[in-house]
Structure formats: C-alpha cells, structure tokens
Chains A and B, each alone.
Chain A
Amino acid sequence: MSDAPGRAANKPAPKLIKGSQDFYGGLALMAVALFALWASSDLQGMRGFSFGPGTAPRMFGVLLLVLGAGVALTGFLFEGAPMQRYGIRGPLFVTLAILSFSVTIRPLGLIVSAFMSFIIAAFGTEETQWKETIIVGIALTIGCALLFPYALGLPLELFPRFLR
C-alpha cells in the first residue's frame, strides 16, 4: 500500500527504458534460458526420429529465451511499471533461518534447530519484541517436537547427536 505512491505518469522526463520492471525481468529470464541451454549443451540431441535427452531442454530453453526477449522488449518500448524496491532485512534473515535449519537439523536435532531458526527469522523485522518472541519460539518448538515425530509419525531426530 505504502511503497507505490508514484506509479508511472508523474515522471515527465522521457526515459530510455520505459518499463524497467519488465525490461530487467525479461533480461533475467533470458539469462535463465541461456544458463539452461549451457547446462544442457552436453546432452545428446535428436537421434533420427526420436528425441535425445537434450532435445526438449534445448527446445524450451530457446522458447524461454525468445519469450524473455519479448518481455524485455515490451519493457523497453512501452510505458510500464518501474522497478520495485527490494527489501534486504526480510529476505536476508528468512534465508539465513532456512539455511541454519538445513545445516543444523542433522547434527543438532529438531529442538535446537527449530528454535534457532525461529529466532533468526524473527530478526527479519524490526518490530520483533524479544520477550514474547522467545516465549512463542519455545512453545512452537515444543509443539513441533510433539506434532511431527509423534502425532504424524515422521522420522525426525529430536535431540543433538552428541546427546544420543
């Protein structure tokens, strides 16, 4: 609601790239397509009538390249939305929380791992009030420790490896 007060129209100066959101979006898709084409370049192509493993990835890679170019061109030629601002804090801490979970779940077990990533994720906003966050974190950890291994019967280790 708050981050888009001046959409399009209120910038009278002519710009080279009219819709930067689409322009860069399209370029990035082209990069993805090129990457896929490169990654599948060592695969075998058509063998007579039949597709090789590399045929379909190449087909769709080229298709994505063309479509990406189309999107970028649209952004270049037509008036469109400008780039949106990216947040840093949110993405950073949420990603860190996810990484921390994946690194610690095996050696440290669910309880430590879940609580740790809860706390790390909570850094994602400045509005976190630590006392309540820690209480909720503990409650959630206990809840998960009961729900997943016991109620749902999933094979998860609860405790750190050195305690087992």
Chain B
Amino acid sequence: MDIFSNLALGFGVAFSPINLGLCLIGALVGTLVGVLPGIGTIATVAMLLPITFGLPPVGALIMLAGIYYGAQYGGSTTSILVNIPGEAGSVVTTLDGFQMAKQGRAGPALAIAAIGSFFAGCVATVLIALLGAPLTKLALLFGPAEYFSLMVLGLIFAVVLAKGSVLKAIAMIVFGVLLSMVGSDIETGASRMSFNIPELADGLGFATVAMGIFGFAEIIRNLDHGAAMDRELVQQKISGLMPTKQDLKDSAPAIARGTILGSILGILPGGGAVIASFAAYTFEKKISKTPERFGRGAIEGVAAPESANNAAAQTSFIPLLTLGIPPNAVMALMVGAMTIHGIVPGPQVMQKQPDLVWGMIASMWIGNLMLLIINLPMVGIWVRLLRVPYRLLFPSIVVFCAIGIYSVNNAPMDVVLAGAFGLVGYWLVKHDFEPAPLLLGMVLGPLMEENLRRALLISRGDWSVFVTRPLSASLMAIAAFLLVLALLPALRKKRDEVFVESES
C-alpha cells in the first residue's frame, strides 16, 4: 500500500531528533502564546512566523504545525479556565468548560479536551494520508478555469460559514484581493499601485499585513476595554486531572461524533474549525437525552467541540497540500510561510517533495501526542501565565511583533506598514468587518488572478469557459447555490428584524 510507505516516510522524517525537537518547541511556544489572553490562533501563528525563518523548510513547517496545534490547545485552556475563548473555534468550549471549571472540575475538562483532540488528530491524520494521493490526481485534471472556479467556491464557502453579514464578508475578500495586487504585475512586471515606494514594489508582505491586522489591531482593541480585562479566573485549585470512568463513558461517543463531523467540515474549502465546533456542540445537544445539562457543565459539551475543532484543523490541510488552496486564514498563513521558503503548495509538492508533505503530516500526529504529554502536567504553569496582567503583556507583544516583522526583510518600512494595518484592522473590527476573509483574499488573490488570466487567454477571451467546462461548471454551480442559500435567510432575518421593530 502506498499509504503505509508514505506514512512511514513521513514518520521517518518527523522522528529525526531535530524535527522532533522543533515540533516540541513549536507546540510549547504555541501553547505559551496561545494561552495569553486576547491572542487568538491566527495572531499566534502570525507572531511566531519569523522565528521559523532561519530553519530549513521541512523543519520550519513542522515547527509551524506544532505552533498551530499548541495555539489551538492554548485557546481551549483559556476558554475552560478564564471563560475567554482564544479564538472563534473555542467559543463553544467556554459554555460547558468554564462551568465545569467553576464546579472544580477544570482538570477533567482540560484532560477530556486534550484526549478528544488527540483522538481526533489520529483519525484525521489517517484521513489525510488516505485522501492525499487521490486528491492530488484529481488536481492534475484541473486547468486554470477549474482552479479559478475552485477558489471562488472556497471563498464562497468561507463567506457562507463566517459569522455575520455575507455582503460584508465578500467585501472583505475583495479588499484582500485588491491588496494582493499591490506590487509588480506577474506577467508584465509593471509596477501596480506602489506609488514608487521601493518597499511596495515587491507587494505587501503577507506576514506584515497579518501581523498588523491580527496582532496590533487585537492589542489596540483590547486596550479599549481597559487593560484590566474582566477576567474571571477560576480560583479553585485544580485538583485531580484525571477524568472519572463515568466522564470517559459519557464523552467517548461525543468525541467520536465530533471527530467525524469535524473531519468532514474541515475538508470543505472555507470550512475549518469554527463551524465544526459549533456544529458538533449543537449536534450533541440535539441528540442528548438530557439537553438541559448543556451549559451547566456537561462533559460532552467540551468533548465534542474540542474533537471537532481539532479534526477540522487537521483535515483542512488536505485542500492546502493537494490543491494548494488555503481553506482558512491559518492555512493562508501556512502558505505564506511556504512561499517564504520557496515552496509553492499544490500537487507538485506532493510529488516532488514527498518528504516535506508526509513529514508534516506525521508531525501533526506527533504534535498532538506532545500536546497530550506536555499540557496535562503543565496546566499549573499555563494557569500562572493567565495571571500576567495585560498592562505588562501588551507592550511586550508590541515589541515582540515589531522585532518579528522587522526581521522578515530587515526593513523598517515593513514595521510602519504593519502599524498602519493595525489601525486598519482596528477600524475593521469597529465596523464589524471580519478580518479573516481579508487575509484569505489576500493569499488567494495572486493565484486567482493568474488562473483567471490564463483561463481567459486559453479561451481567447471567452468568459463562458467557466461554465462550459463540466468540472468548472459544477464548482461554479455549487458556489452559486451556496451563495443564494446564504443570502436567503439573511434577507429573511433582516426583514424579520424590521417587522419586529415596527410592531413594537
């Protein structure tokens, strides 16, 4: 079997002492930063991106994968212990996790979250190995028109699954695509929208924008609430990490269901972790015999979303590795990291650099295992970190981010740009625009433009190429269907609100 030889190759790469160490450091540092209040997964990955620059590509990606999982787990820890979700994906974990912590059962909650994540990670790793190769073959059937349609579909998925207004999310994507066009034109080399500023001639750095919009903007926004954010840190001592037999029995089916749901939703472009955890929680509550326990410390309410979250996080690597299309903002950051190392993700990477791809897949599993081993005994340390007051934390983050951005190109201008994007990000948040689609648009922008141009060149300027080629047409049809589906209830809801207003 191919799968086994591939996985064996991957584990061979990942188990080298250096890579194992990098994965460990990544997971540790990721948790360390992810646990800090007010720093989400995307911000964590963006902030830590520069520390991987000095490494060889395989090592850098393995470390980044470790950082990603660490950050996610850190997010769950803050959700359970402080009722502050580190990222959108762990919002639902707060519902029951924090209640459990209040009842003095933070230990079991954290343990179940880790165990559920690990189980989900195991399943998802096998799934990636199974689906990777066939999907790569599928990718070879794709021409420029199909790629363009697929990206449109992915972006529509991202829009549909994002919370809030569909219109605003699309606007953010287009904004991101526009930003990606700053710099040299891919075909003619003409300088576009760069105003003769030499630092802009190469385009806006991806890390710069991400750090500004997610790092700096987050800090500025948090300062609005006053540095002493109301943190209801659980004061009870965390006694007894291990869940009881009853806990395990209750959560086992929930973990299995969460894993399945998460794996499926993660593969969908634009799906990802957020929707998976919400869906898993709702599903558990629906089928539970005692739905009234949810929201009051039901362990299933922690187990299901955490497993789903992690399964989705992992399977979302599938579209990235096989098709080269990042399905969400974190994967977009991964693409950014790969490009910095001179790797263009996609089917070619799978064939030309199998050690890189499979090494990364294997390291995901190892990363999960490490989280289980590191985090449970170290919960005490993470809790102490949560007590660091924000008034000391935020200047440190500012300095750390600034050094990080500067070190990408040794360019002071990049730091200024990141600061400017910090203000843009703050503005976006104030107007309830989601920054994640913007980032996705920015990464997909060049790919989309290139494929659009190529498709139209091949079809001699005929736009119907996107609907006459069967594969492309079906992708476009799905995208259109989804968009209509998403717009309909939104319209209805808007109208309902108006009706309610006028009645009262």
Chain A residues engaging chain B, CB cutoff 8 angstroms: 1-3, 9, 21-22, 24-26, 28-29, 32-33, 36, 39-40, 43-44, 48-54, 56-57, 60-61, 63-64, 67-68, 70-71, 74, 78-79, 81, 83-87, 89-91, 94-95, 97-99, 101-103, 105-106, 110, 114, 117-119, 121-122, 124-125, 127-129, 132-133, 136-137, 140-141, 144, 148, 152-156
Contact = CB atoms under 8 A, between A and B. Distances in A.
Contacts of A95: 419, 422-423
B223 interface: yes
A101 B400 CA distance: 11
Interface stretch (B107-115, B150-158, B300-308, B391-399): B391-399
B485 interface: no
Main secondary structure of the interface of B (DSSP, over half): helix
B192 A1 contact: no
B415 A60 contact: no
A85 B174 CA distance: 26
A29 B252 CA distance: 48
Nearest to A67: B171
A22 B169 CA distance: 12
Nearest to A97: B398
B167 A132 contact: no
A137 B395 contact: yes
Given A101-B415, A154-B54, A44 B190 contact: yes
A113 to B, nearest CB: 8
A51 B391 contact: no
Contact of B195 (A39, A64, A71, A114): A39
A67 B178 CA distance: 13
Contacts of A53: 185, 187-188, 190, 192
Contacts of A137: 395
A25 B432 contact: yes
A156 B415 CA distance: 14
Given A40-B193, A53-B185, 7 more contacts: A9-B501, A22-B431, A22-B432, A56-B449, A97-B395, A97-B399, A101-B406
Please classify how large the interface on chain B is, using the bins under 10, 10 to 19, 20 to 34, 35 or more.
35 or more
Interface in B406-440: 406-407, 410, 412-413, 415-416, 418-419, 422-423, 426-427, 430-433
Interface stretch (B36-44, B94-102, B226-234, B258-266): B226-234
Nearest to A135: B392
Main secondary structure of the interface of A (DSSP, over half): helix
Given A53-B190, A94-B398, A125 B497 contact: no
B415 A102 contact: yes
A39 B179 CA distance: 12
Contacts of B168: 22, 25, 71
20 contacts: A21-B430, A22-B431, A22-B432, A56-B452, A60-B181, A61-B178, A67-B170, A70-B167, A79-B501, A81-B432, A94-B394, A95-B419, A97-B402, A106-B412, A114-B399, A118-B396, A125-B223, A140-B399, A154-B53, A154-B54
A63 to B, nearest CB: 5
Contacts of A22: 165, 168, 431-432
Contacts of A78: 494, 497-498
A32 B175 CA distance: 8
Given A63-B174, A87-B220, A110 B396 contact: no
B220 A36 contact: no
A71 B172 CA distance: 11
Nearest to A117: B399
Contact of A94 (B195, B415, B422): B422
A136 B389 CA distance: 12
